[in-house]
Chains A and B, each alone.
Chain A
């Protein structure tokens, strides 16, 4: 431990049953970005699921928006240690998008406009655990928060909830994404504090 500076407390660090270990509560919504914010016009936007056999399922924005919407209210946990409780989104469940997809894959590699990727087990996208969301707090999802649409997988650290989502590749073998290939955990369960490889 370093030398203590008298009177220094740091930001309020609330812990509690609602918060995973090492997290603190915030009220605002920090913008994290690893690159410039991509601007995607809705005319060109598409969401693409590619299976391990190369089968492609594609949704244009109008087709995507015709799918039934859900309004998840969830807590989110960022690996940089902030957590935000009771966030309200609107989007399409991955159960809906994957319903017609025939696959034997165990893994998913999510890719975004702008080049970002993140990997997770396919089962973590199913059973009401993940959505492609296009609204936050009752308004269109702002570009800095991933609009027009982002992935939302609230039970994993928030870097898995890829902003500016473009598609999902279904894979038989796990392939590390942008942060997972440089030290971050392949799974990223905040309740087990799986921040880095080996955690």
Chain B
């Protein structure tokens, strides 16, 4: 049993507590290897004290989220950029 991760889709609920847009539909660029892909396709390890999302290309940590009783901690230092689809304005 080596595959203990789920898809980045699993981040949708926890991140929806923090962001007004659905971040799982955003395209991220990994700091480690430069790979781009939807946040929904990251590898999420959730059997842990927090959520750890890793790059499917290099296994580097792209995003971490810890949810305390009344605080969330978000680490995006493994994310070079997030390209977020928005509803067209005007």
- The interface of chain A, by Cβ under 8 A from chain B, is 30-37, 79-80, 115, 144, 159, 179, 181-184, 195-196
Contacts and interface: CB of A to CB of B under 8 A. Distances in A.
Given A182-B66, A182-B73, A36 B59 contact: yes
Contacts, number: 55
B66 A183 contact: yes
Contact of A183 (B47, B52, B68): B68
Interface residues of B, number: 21
A184 B32 CA distance: 24
Contacts of A181: 75
Given A31-B47, A182-B73, 18 more contacts: A30-B47, A31-B4, A32-B47, A33-B4, A33-B47, A35-B45, A35-B54, A35-B59, A80-B49, A179-B50, A181-B75, A182-B64, A182-B66, A183-B68, A183-B73, A184-B66, A195-B68, A196-B68
B2 interface: yes
